[in-house]
Amino acid sequence: MTAHDPPRSRYVRPNEDEGERLDRHWNELLQELRLAQTGTQILFAFLLSIAFTNRFQDADRYTHVIFACTLVASALAMGLFLAPVSFHRIVFQKHLRDRMIPLADRMARGGLILLLVAISGGVLLALDVVVSRPIALTLVGLVFVWFISLWYILPTWIRRSDSGQ
């Protein structure tokens, strides 16, 4: 270890029982979902509002198809981010948290994928108005790679590099 290496630490809670661990995981997931839900709901509201503008009504078929796909991806993402709340309400006090958390995790992961599609579509819709379509597509491709890098590649790399320790 050099002076520039961050200290290695495994965060553990030695006195935490299974119920406390499940409660902590649920609370951490809820905090993450709050952030994702808010952003997705704002994007969804923005998309709904532009559908009724005169300029959008006059747009070409390509724009309408991109809009439709983006709106649906945003709605589906919002549904996946809100699903754990509904799930929790239905199974509340049924002692199913051990089954609920892995499902809610998968819903959140699916929601993030759909949110990435919706963000990319929203950026494409906006850029298509101000730059040429090929430039807009190139820029959206870069935005998409940026998100993939931060949301998936970097965490996967850190996870894999740490698994050998």
pLDDT of residue 86: 84
DSSP state of 150: I
Comparing CA positions, the residue from 32, 15, 30, 47 lying closest to residue 121 is 47
Q: What is the mean pLDDT of residues 120-137?
A: 95
Q: What is the mean pLDDT of residues 94-99?
A: 76
Q: What is the pLDDT of residues 39-74, one digit of tens each?
A: 899 999 989 998 888 888 889 999 999 999 999 999
pLDDT tier for residue 163 given thresholds of 50, 70 and 90 = low
pTM: 0.81
* Cα–Cα dist 25/21, whole Å: 6
Q: What is the pLDDT of residues 5-36, one digit of tens each?
A: 555 556 667 787 878 888 888 888 888 888 88
Quick one: how far is CA 52 from the chain centroid? 26
Contact (CB, 8 A) for 129 and 60? no
Percent of the chain with pLDDT over 90: 47
pLDDT of residue 25: 84
Contact (CB, 8 A) for 108 and 80? yes
